[in-house]
Amino acid sequence: MKVLIELSASKNNKVDLKLNFIYTYTTMNIKDQIVPFKEFRLNAPKYIKALEAGASFLVMKRSRPAFRLEPVFEVWETIGDFSKLRGGGISAKKLAKALQ
């Protein structure tokens, strides 16, 4: 999980602060396409495009599963928007003091 902090200056010399959580999750696909490792290594750009389109792959090395490739989807969720505080945000001095 990541936290994204957005800061912007407003007209009244106050800083608008917005916090977002970013978390990732993966999907499980029962019908993975089986790909030999050498094929994956030689044609990686082709498989990356297929991943972006939603495909998933099981990469085999010496007839054994080496790793699985599956798409990752990011979800952004706003957890706090301080620009909506009374007065249109917090002052830059208060923010700098709180961050020290």
Q: Retrieve residue 15's tokens.
A: 């800083």
Residue 70, CB half-sphere, CA atoms under 13 Å: how many?
A: 13
CATH fold label, 28-70? YefM-like fold (3.40.1620)
Q: Are 51 and 69 in contact (CB under 8 A)?
A: yes
Compare 99 and 30 and report the one with higher pLDDT. Answer: 99
Compare 1 and 83 and report the one with higher pLDDT. Answer: 83
pLDDT at 72: 80
Which tens digits make up the pLDDT trace of 8-65?
666 666 666 666 665 555 444 556 788 999 999 999 999 999 988 888 898 989 988 8
**Which pTM was predicted?**
0.46
Tokens 């978390």 map to which residue? 23
Compare 89 and 51 and report the one with higher pLDDT. Answer: 51
pLDDT at 33: 87
pLDDT at 54: 85
Compare 79 and 48 and report the one with higher pLDDT. Answer: 48
**Among 78, 67, 77, 65, which residue's Cα sits nearest to residue 23?**
77
DSSP labels, 26-85: E---SSPEEEEHHHHHHTHHHHHHHHHTT--EEEEETTEEEEEE--EEEEEEEEEEGGGS
